[in-house]
Amino acid sequence: MRAAIYVRVSTEDQAKHGYSLHDQKESCKARALELGASEILEFADEGVSGELLERPGLTALRQSVKASQVDLVVCYDPDRLSRNLAHQLLVTDEIEKSGVQLDFVNFEWQNTPDGRLFYALRGAIAEFEKEKIRERTTRGKLQKAKQGGIPINANPYGYIFENGELKPHPVEAEIVRMIYRWFTTENVGFNTIVTRLAEYGIPSRKGNKTWQRRVIKTILSNPVYIGIFYYNRRNCQGMGYNKFLPIENRIKEKKRPTEEWIPIPVPALIDKETWDKAQEKTQKVRRLWSGCSKEKYLLSGLVTCTDCGNNMHGYLRTEKNGKKIRCYTCVHTEAGAINYGCRPIKRINADLLEQIVWEQVCAWLNNPEALIKEVRERSKEKELKTDLETINKHLAEVEKGRDNIRNALAAGLLELDGKTSKILQDLKSREKQLLVRKKEIEAALYKNAVTETKAKEIYGQAAKFLSRLDELVFDQKKALIRMLVKQVSVSGKGKNLRVTVFATFAPEAEIAKQLDAPG
């Protein structure tokens, strides 16, 4: 009789339950020989989660069973086949329908109604235990992050992860600074940086001679380089990451709301001013180079539908009489589109929408002093300064508490026992959180300080257009709009159409002009 044994172990199993491939193999071989096997084939998966169905070893076993190459399958325990009850029952059913005997070393399997019920219950319990382990692990990681520690093996380019902390990499950190310096001080984009790194002979972290454009884009947008590592930014959905799975079945990540992000202070590689310049240039590049079309669309790359969240793009609609009408739509039908868009289909007349935005731009240019006054009045500088004073007060209290403990220890009034160590750790965690908030407030104050100056600079550049706004050609209008408009959001349609225009020279969600458009 030809037998197959299947063994699996994950890192977690080895650490918590003492499972090992060697022990499983020996036990399964002994069982197979006991049942009369004359030849034994081995199938194994090491370091692979039992939640996944598509595992190299298990897949090869299923193929052998399907091809009638084995008469007996021996496994140490049902949860070695799978941690997922549905997958467990699926594999079991495949083996039995192929006329192959299934046997477990650590479980008495009977192909009877009672046996199947007990088997299913055991699988359900194993699945429940796995979920409880995951829940406890997740909760523990969140708690560690809230206390200022990094709960995962974070490894962004430019850093080394050692002893639970991110430290600047002696070589990569300087390359990160160089990339930011090129991007913010020279007229270069992502592709030019990729080419330049190759010309300089600087390999990527993986040792490749050519860098990927998306890696450069990630480096230029990751806030870790200004000293803030955010944990809990994404929610992983799907079957879990496995390089053997098809791409569409791997982890799908969805961004969590920003209020759920947990900031953890780390050493900064660049200053806040350089970071802001990089983000501003990235946004500008995205606006200026957003899609090309045979038809001209004044707001290409600027319009967002707030009802479905999609960007709105130019669309040429053909009426029944053959007339073509320019529209903006949020519908995305291209391959790989995640969000289809609004249903029923939303189409906004391009002439109407462009007229609304253009009139707002003209209003800003014709009365700049009023708008600058509004910018100044809406600034939250007073509240921010009050918050900063409060933060500094709390930091002083933390330092005072630490000094009191040091003095008590020196005087022999306290011992450095577990309770005292816990107090010191709590003070350190609180200090880290306060420092993160202090950085955020200082960044907001800096942004407020430059808002008015930036508005005046933009108006200075646009002053040459004031006397001939109605005479500008399409390209001049488009350039002027991109100078003054950060984003246009659209909600509703027809008589309920509402347009909000955001200025480039004001903080996000400030100085937004809402207009009710005619139906």
Task: Work out whether strand 2-9 and strand 72-75 pair parallel, antiparallel, or are unpaired.
Answer: parallel
Residue 161 has pLDDT above 80, yes or no: yes
Given a cut of 50, is residue 468 above it in pLDDT?
yes
**DSSP per-residue codes, 183-211:** HHHSS--HHHHHHHHHHTT---TT--SS-
Q: How far is CA 105 from CA 25, 113, 297, in A?
A: 11, 21, 69
Residue 28: DSSP 8-state: H
Residue 261: helix, strand or coil by DSSP? coil
This prediction has a pTM of: 0.38
The token pair that represents 290 in the structure block: 């957003």
CA-closest candidate to residue 357, choices 310, 290, 300, 299 = 299
Pairing state between β 228-231 and 262-265: antiparallel
* Angle CA 277–278–279, to nearest 5: 95
Highest mean predicted confidence (pLDDT) among 47-56, 288-297, 312-321, 359-368: 312-321
Most confident of 157-166, 230-239, 291-300: 157-166
pLDDT band for position 291 (cuts 50, 70, 90): very low
How does residue 64 score in pLDDT terms, banded at 50, 70 and 90?
very high
Q: What is the CATH number of domain 2-141?
A: 3.40.50.1390
More confident residue, 132 or 97: 97
- Minimum mean pLDDT among 420-424, 462-466, 511-515: which range? 511-515
Average pLDDT on 173-192 reads: 88
Percent of the chain whose pLDDT exceeds 70: 75
Mean pLDDT, residues 93-121: 74
Given this model, what pLDDT does residue 247 score? 37
Considering the segment(s) 155-279 as one domain, its CATH architecture is Alpha-Beta Complex (3.90)
Distance CA 254, CA 116 (A): 38
110-124, 202-216, 484-498: range with lowest mean pLDDT = 110-124
pLDDT of residue 43: 94
Check pLDDT > 60 for residue 251. no
pLDDT score recorded for residue 321? 83
Distance CA 242, CA 58 (A): 14
277 or 143, which is more confident: 277
- pLDDT score for 169: 92
Q: Which residue in the block uniquely carries the two structure tokens 């073509």?
A: 324
The residue ranking higher by pLDDT, 74 or 233, is 74
Report whether pLDDT(317) > 80.
Answer: yes
Residue 319 has pLDDT above 60, yes or no: yes
pLDDT at 28: 93
Rounded to whole angstroms, how far apart are CA atoms 399 and 405?
10
If one counts every other C-beta atom within 10 angstroms of the C-beta of residue 321, the result is 5
The helix or strand, by DSSP H or E, that contains position 408, with its residue range, turns out to be helix 381-410
- Are the C-beta atoms of residues 298 and 328 closer than 8 Å to each other? no
421-442 in b/e form (b: 16+ CB < 10 A) is eeeeeebebbbbbbbbbbbebe
Scan for tokens 């731009």, then name that residue: 361
Identical fold for domains 2-141 and 155-279, yes or no, is: no
Mean pLDDT of 29-57: 88
Closest Cα to residue 364, out of 374, 352, 354? 374
The closest of 404, 197, 326, 478 to 188, measured between CA atoms, is: 197
Residue whose C-alpha is closest to residue 306's, from 63, 180, 493: 493
- Confidence at 126, pLDDT banded by 50, 70, 90: low
Please give the average per-residue pLDDT across 102-126, as a whole number: 67
| Residues identified as active-site | 10
Q: State the alpha helices, DSSP H only, in 225-380.
A: 272-288, 350-366, 368-378
What are 44's strand-pairing partners?
7
Domain limits of the chain?
2-141, 155-279, 301-375+464-516, 380-442
Q: Are 399 and 391 in contact (CB under 8 A)?
A: no
Which residue in 398, 405, 506 sits closest to 452, CA to CA?
A: 506
Instruction: pLDDT band for 178, please (50, 70, 90 cuts).
Output: very high
pLDDT of 284 > 50? The answer is yes
